[in-house]
Amino acid sequence: MQDRLQTIQELNIFNGISARTLNDLASFAKIQHYKKKDIILNDKDVKNIFVYILKGWVKLFKDSANGDEIIVDILGDGHHCGEQFIFTIHNQETYQVECISSDLEILILPMTVLKRQLSEDHQLALNFLKDTIEKQYELTLELEHLSIQTALQRMGCFILRLCEQSSENTAHLRLPYDKSLLATRLGMRAETFSRSLAKLSKACNIGVEGEILHINDIKKLADYVCQHCSQTFPCQS
């Protein structure tokens, strides 16, 4: 309980929330661990549980009319899902939540508790509003990228954003999850992803060793990628 309270009060979304509310939330919250390929929530449970990612990655997915799997979203540290079900929205589609990293740590909260606290705690509602608006902004940017950038540029843009913490002109990083999933995430086939990465690494001096990338000239990459975007590096999603 004490550790859960400790965890909760450090989360962005609960910033500035009263001890009273935090205590109530913490008393119903649980911290859970999963491994790759675990289904965390099926399409029914997802409506009743709020999930906050403490560490690792999950994918939200559903099935299309013709049987293919559709990736709704991929969430990492500090992101959450379930807020879609706080209110009853006409024709709301559900999804399943699956762990895609080897060591996932999440915090879960019954939707009933979250709903109650949201209706009672004004600051909590404002925090959720801010968070949702930020999410909306990210989605808008993604939509923009998908409609005006090529596969190559989207990929470069993604890599570039992974570089942002770097203060130098070089960066060494690990792709956050499987290449095939990342491909889908970026709106392309795995084959296209593979070819694009090869092309990009050649054009922008990037060393590729499996899932490890050595970006030797961030500026060069930025030049290559950012022309068609409304933003210029560093742009931060």
Partner DNA sequence: CGTATTATTGATTTGTCTCAAAAAGTGTGG
Partner DNA sequence: CCACACTTTTTGAGACAAATCAATAATACG
CA pair distance 226, 63, nearest whole angstrom: 33
Report in angstroms how near the CB of residue 146 gets to DNA at its nearest: 10
Query: Of residues 103, 137, 170, 198, which one binds its own copies by CB under 8 A?
Result: 137
CA pair distance 84, 90, nearest whole angstrom: 11
Report in angstroms how near the CB of residue 139 gets to its own copies at its nearest: 4
Return the sign of the alpha-carbon dihedral for residues 90, 96, 102, 103: positive
Closer of 41 and 181 to DNA (Cβ): 181
Dihedral angle computed from the Cα positions of residues 217, 219, 221 and 226, in that order, rounded to the nearest 10 degrees = 170
Total of residues contacting its own copies (CB under 8 A): 51
Report which of 191, 79, 53 is spatially closest to residue 139, judged by C-alpha positions.
79
Q: Does 14 bind DNA (CB under 7 A)?
A: no
Q: Does 206 bind DNA (CB under 7 A)?
A: no
Binding to DNA in span 180-199, by CB under 7 A? 180-181, 187-198
CA pair distance 132, 84, nearest whole angstrom: 10
Report in angstroms how near the CB of residue 37 gets to its own copies at its nearest: 21
Binding to its own copies in span 33-72, by CB under 8 A? 62-66, 68, 70, 72
Q: In which residue are the tokens 């008393």 written?
A: 27
CA angle 184, 187, 191 (to 5 degrees): 65
Cβ contact 36:99 at 8 Å: yes
Closer of 101 and 149 to its own copies (Cβ): 149
With CB cut-offs between 5 and 8 Å by kind, which of its own copies, DNA, none does residue 72 bind? its own copies
Dihedral angle computed from the Cα positions of residues 151, 154, 156 and 162, in that order, rounded to the nearest 10 degrees = -140
Closer of 185 and 213 to its own copies (Cβ): 185
Q: Does 26 bind DNA (CB under 7 A)?
A: no
Identity of residue 41: L
Closer of 149 and 213 to its own copies (Cβ): 149
Binding site for DNA (CB under 7 A): 36, 150-152, 178-181, 187-198, 208, 210-211
